A and B are shown apart, each in its own frame.
Chain A
C-alpha cells in the first residue's frame, strides 16, 4: 500500500525558533510521530483558508519523537525563501497547520553495525540528524559532512553534533570549515574512516557528485532526491526523475512515491531538463 500511515492532521506549533538563516519548528502531531522514519517528508498547507497558494509545501522531517511529555512531536527545518515558507515561519506557537504525512520512502537502516557517512547540503542536513540518532542507537559509527555556499547556510545544531562521531563543515566561500565543495573532500574522508555506506540529502548537483564518488569507490549510497512537486502523494506526476526500475528500465518515476530516498545507482543524473535517451516511452 502507498503511504499506508499517511494522514491529514491539524499539527499545532509548539516551538518556532530562528537558527541562522533557517527556522527550527516543532509540531505536536500525536500518534503520527510513531510512524515517521528518517527520510520521510510531510506536506503542509500554506497561507491559510483563503490562500492563493494552492499547493502544499514538502519538508523533509528533521526528527520525530513518539513519546515526549506533550506526546508525539515532529521537527522541521524551514528556509523562509518563498511566500509559503515565509508564511509558515512567521506563525506563532499554538497555531495549527494542515499537515499530511508521513510521506515517501525512508533511509534503509542496515541490520548490522556499519560505518556510515552522512552528507548534507544546506538545510538538506535536516533529516540526517534523525538518521544519525537511529544509526548511533544501533551501535553504528556515524561521520557527517555538511556543506553550503556560506557559513550562514550550514544547519548544524549543537545537539546534532553530539549524535555523530565526527563532523566536517565545508563552505564554497571558505567562511566556515574547509574551503570548497563537499565532494572535493569526500574521497579522503571515506578512506580515512573506512566508510561502508553513504547517506545524503541536498541539492541534486551535490547528490550527483556524491553518486559518482560512491560508484567509483563501490560504496552503497542512498540519497534523498527532489524535484518540483505539487501534491506529495503520487497523483500529480510532476515530481518525476529518470530512474531505473527493478529490471533496469529507465522510467520517469515519482520522487514522492519511489523516493525521496532512493539508491543512487538507480538515478540517471545530469539529464539537464531532457528525457534521457532510452527512457521507457521516450517521446
Chain B
C-alpha cells in the first residue's frame, strides 16, 4: 500500500506534517548542525517584529513539572535585517519557510505584510497574535474576537502574495472556537494551536518570582491535553480550517494525538530544547505509527477522533 505523508495547510501542500515551532528553532543554523532542514515539512521562524527588540531581562527560564516557563519577549533583529540575513540562508538550505510575524499594533501587522509582499520563497505566514511575553497583556490580540480579526485583516489586506495565513492563538481564552471563527472570517486559512499558557513560578528561597519578567509562557508535555482540547474544539466548529497543532509534542504518538483531534500539521517546539533531533524523531515515529494504524495518508487521520462510530 502506498502511503502519502504530505499534508496541506490552506491551499499549500507540504512534503510532510512536521514543522518546527516559532521561537524554538533559532535561525535554523543552530539545528542544521544536527539534521538537514529540508527534511521537515517546514521551518517556522521566530516571530519577527518591525524593529529590533532586546526581549526581556533574565532569568528568562524556569523548568516546571513536564514543562517550562519562558519569558523571551520576542527578542529579534527586526524584519529588515531578518529578511536580509536569515531568509537567504534558509533558502540556501532548501528549507520550506513559514515566516512568523508579530506586531505591537494592528498597523504593525499591515506594515509587516507589506515587507513580506515582494519576497519569493515563503510558503506561509504565521500571524502571531498571542505572545504572552509582552509588557502589556492588552497587546494579546487573540484574546478578543475584534482585535484578533483586526490583526489578521491587516495582514490580508496588505498582502498580494497568495499564501496561507495561519493565525497563532492563545489557549488563555474562554472560547477558542469563537476566536478561530473570527480570524477565519478575516482571511486566515489556518490557525496555529496553541501558543503557551501564561504562568508563574515563585522561588521559595528568594521568595520572589523566578523570572525577571515575573510571568512566562508555559510549554512542554504539561500543556498537551490543553492543545488537544483546543484543536478538537476548533476542528469541530470549523472543519474546513487548517490547524497547525503544537503543545508538548515529543513523540510520534503525541503528534498522532493532535492529528486525530484535527491538526493537519504539527510543530515541535520545547522538545527540541531537550533533544536537538526531536523533530526528526517525531517525524519518523509518526510515519511508522500512521502506517501501523492503517492510514493511507495524513489527511485520512486528520480529525479521525471526531467520527461517530
* Contact surface of A with B, Cβ cutoff 8 Å: 1-4, 6, 8, 45, 52-56, 98, 100, 227-231, 233-241, 251-252, 257, 271, 273-275, 279-283
Contacts and interface: CB of A to CB of B under 8 A. Distances in A.
A54 B66 contact: yes
11 contacts: A4-B33, A54-B271, A227-B58, A228-B58, A229-B61, A237-B55, A238-B70, A239-B61, A240-B55, A282-B54, A283-B55
Given A6-B34, A237-B23, A271-B57, 9 more contacts: A52-B65, A53-B63, A54-B250, A55-B273, A237-B60, A238-B59, A239-B60, A281-B54, A281-B76
Contacts of A2: 29-30, 33
B58 A241 contact: yes
Interface stretch (B3-11, B152-160, B169-177, B274-282): B274-282
Contacts of A55: 63, 68, 273-274
Contacts, number: 130
Given A54-B66, A235-B273, A236-B70, A283 B52 contact: no
Contacts of A239: 58, 60-61
Contacts of A238: 58-61, 70, 72
Contacts of B277: 8
A283 B25 contact: no
Contacts of B276: 8, 100, 231, 233
Nearest to B212: A273
A68 to B, nearest CB: 27
Nearest to B219: A54
Contacts of A4: 33
Greatest chain B CB density within 10 A among A98, A251, A281 is at A281
B31 A235 contact: yes
Contact of A235 (B25, B57, B63): B25
Contacts of A280: 52, 54
Contacts of A271: 57
A235 B272 contact: yes
B233 to A, nearest CB: 26
Nearest to B30: A234
B12 to A, nearest CB: 25
A3 B29 CA distance: 10
Pick the 4 closest A-B CB pairs, nearest first: A281-B52, A238-B61, A231-B273, A234-B30
Interface string B13-35: 00000000001111001110110
A205 to B, nearest CB: 14
B137 interface: no
A275 B60 CA distance: 12
Contact of B61 (A6, A230, A252, A283): A230
Given A2-B33, A230-B68, A281-B51, A54 B58 contact: no
B247 interface: no
A3 B61 contact: no
B237 interface: no
A231 B31 CA distance: 11
A274 B56 CA distance: 8
A281 B73 CA distance: 11
A252 B270 contact: no
A4 B29 CA distance: 11
Given A54-B63, A275-B57, A279-B54, A237 B75 contact: yes
Given A55-B273, A237-B55, A1 B65 contact: no
A6 B34 CA distance: 8
B67 A274 contact: no
A241 to B, nearest CB: 7
B53 A236 contact: no
B78 interface: yes
Contacts of A257: 30
A78 B274 CA distance: 19
B65 A283 contact: no
A34 B13 CA distance: 44
Contacts of A231: 272-274, 276
